[in-house]
Structure 1
Amino acid sequence: MSRAFVKEGDGGLEPLPDLPISPHPNYVTPRGLALLQTRLAEAQARLAALRARPERLDKLPEAAAERDIRYLEARLRSAIPVDPSSQPAGEVAFGARVEVALADGSRQVWQITGEDEADATQNRIAPQSPLARALLGAEVGDLVIWRKPSGPVELEVLAIAYADPQA
């Protein structure tokens, strides 16, 4: 085999490409900021443990941890903390927990959080989501249209609160 096509080096990996950073403002709730800080500390601990391994032939896990740390540090640098208690009490804004009624009479509660904290399974949505965009600025009693891929859904805003019961 020709040695012309064999890359020789120190055995290290090139850094992995950075994770994509959202172009939207990085608003965070106090809970979301704490979660980012915890995730960064965990990633740093993971990297330290990987570097302490006696057998370090596989450098990919270290490169992935370094990439995750770069991402989390960037998200923390760009974080714009928003105290939900400073938001207007009578309308839906960032940090709000909003109770809505659907046309079938069922009720749901959603909280508008930062992108890194958003989790639909926990009813936490990012401000850029179609549901959050429909709710932002609404007041109790307002009817809003949530434009879903399956078609528009009318929601009535029943309650707005800014205290996070899981904080």
Structure 2
Amino acid sequence: MSRAFVKEDGPDNEPLPDLPISPHPNYVTPRGLAALRDRLAALQAELSRLRARAERLDRLPERAVERDIRYVEARLRSAIPVDPNDAPPGEAAFGTRITVADEDGTEQAFEIVGEDEADAALGRIAPQSPLARALIGARVGDTVDWKRPAGTVTLELLAIEPLRC
């Protein structure tokens, strides 16, 4: 196709809308801050790769990466680093790993981390999650009620330690 028939400006070349930014304070652990920086570097490398393509008629992949870069840069600008060692000793707080047991005695561990670092599969929960809200402020030996859509679960706190990031 001749370049004469390619529209250089128009809706196909406009930036994608920005991703929504959480209204909550952006607390980050050292591990979470490093992950954001690594993600930004990977996105910048991906954008360079995309811009180096010989065939660039489809700019959507570039626009998507540019949008993601804007998001990560905004998250880095708003980051509030928290040292896990500054958590109140013996109290569930941001930057701590909490081991709990449910009514059946089944033990699980959860880490209260920043929103960008949260991953339920790894037991990493954001401070705004219902579980984290139930745990924050509790101490070893306390019981808390975790209100879930499937019903309330009572958890006993067995151990609390600062994250090793």
TM-score above 0.5, yes or no: yes
| Count of paired positions | 158
Ranges in structure 1 where 5+ consecutive residues have no aligned partner: 1-7
SS in 1 for 2:67: helix
Tell me, in whole angstroms, the C-alpha distance in 1 between the residues paired with 2:27 and 2:9.
41
Map of 1:119 onto structure 2: 119
- Alignment of 1:47 onto 2:47: yes
Map of 1:78 onto structure 2: 78
Map of 2:4 onto structure 1: none
Runs of 4+, deviation exceeding 2 Å? 8-12
Map of 1:5 onto structure 2: none
Q: Deviations over 1:29-48 (max 9, x none)?
A: 00000000000000000001
Q: Deviations over 1:10-55 (max 9, x none)?
A: 3651100000100000000000000000000000000010001011
Q: Deviations over 1:71-100 (max 9, x none)?
A: 000000000000000111110110110000
Tell me, in whole angstroms, the C-alpha distance in 2 between the residues paired with 1:120 and 1:31.
16
Map of 2:92 onto structure 1: 92
Task: Quote the RMSD (CA, aligned, Å).
Answer: 1.1
The one-letter amino acid paired with 1:136 is I
Tell me, in whole angstroms, the C-alpha distance in 1 between the residues paired with 2:9 and 2:64.
18
Tell me, in whole angstroms, the C-alpha distance in 2 between the residues paired with 1:9 and 1:51.
15
SS in 2 for 1:67: helix
Map of 1:10 onto structure 2: 9
The one-letter amino acid paired with 1:106 is T
SS in 2 for 1:117: coil
The one-letter amino acid paired with 1:17 is P
The one-letter amino acid paired with 1:20 is P
SS in 2 for 1:100: strand
- Tell me by how many angstroms 1:163 deviates: 3.2
